[in-house]
Amino acid sequence: MILQPVRAFLQLAFILYGGAQWSIEANTPLNLDLNQKKTDCYAKFIQLAGRHIERIDVPFEDRSVPAIFSLPPTYKHGDQVPCVAIISGMDGWKELSVAMDGDKWLQRGFAVLAINGPGQGEALIREVWYDPDTYGKLGSSAFDLAAARPEIDPSRIVVHGLSFGSYWATTLAAAEPRFLTCGVAMTCFEAGGFSLFETASPTFKLRFIAVPA
């Protein structure tokens, strides 16, 4: 089927555009251009995905952070399915959180709410910086948004984090007890974060401490 390679090329394109942003920690014209190209490719991918995907905003204080909502390919109108809110790693972005085909969550009948939290991915383009004192508020906003959707069973909303998202997801779950459970992988719970901030890619630290110019 001709759509299959087109989808694959679009996926490769938005991954490469996102990767090209990796070493740019400021909202330079180049970074903004790459982000727009990534977003445009993903918009075209959505049209060919063969399942329901939509870009949405999750309220956060007086602003919002970007997210992508996906329904499983087997979803039928009127069903209520479980939902997983996913936070990827420090240098991850929401478009990477759901596989083009055979996604482990969608294949199990979960809807996926892939979020760029404050200080991460496209939230940085919006200049929504990380703040440890307010980050937990995102948990309640994400839960409320998912629970209000008619496709979602509000009693089966969970949160998952990968890499530094393990820390952020745990923060969300600690601040919002309505999440049914929290599961994390590749955990980053080292006190002080020395290994991550002082021995790994400097982009991790630059994104974590980003503040308005």
Going across the sheet that includes 81-87, the strands are 53-60, 63-70, 111-115, 81-87, 152-162, 182-185
Structure-model confidence comparison of residues 53 and 121, the more confident one: 53
Q: Residue 102 has what pLDDT?
A: 86
What pTM was computed for the model? Answer: 0.91
CA-closest candidate to residue 22, choices 80, 85, 93 = 93
Q: What is the pLDDT of residues 23-51, one digit of tens each?
A: 887 889 999 999 999 999 999 999 999 89
Q: Who contacts 71 (Cβ-Cβ below 8 Å, separation ≥6)?
A: 51, 52, 53, 81, 106, 111, 151
pLDDT at 4 over 90: no
Give the pLDDT mean for 79-87: 97
Q: Provide the CA 192 distance to its chain's centre, in angstroms.
A: 24
Q: What is the pLDDT of residue 213?
A: 52
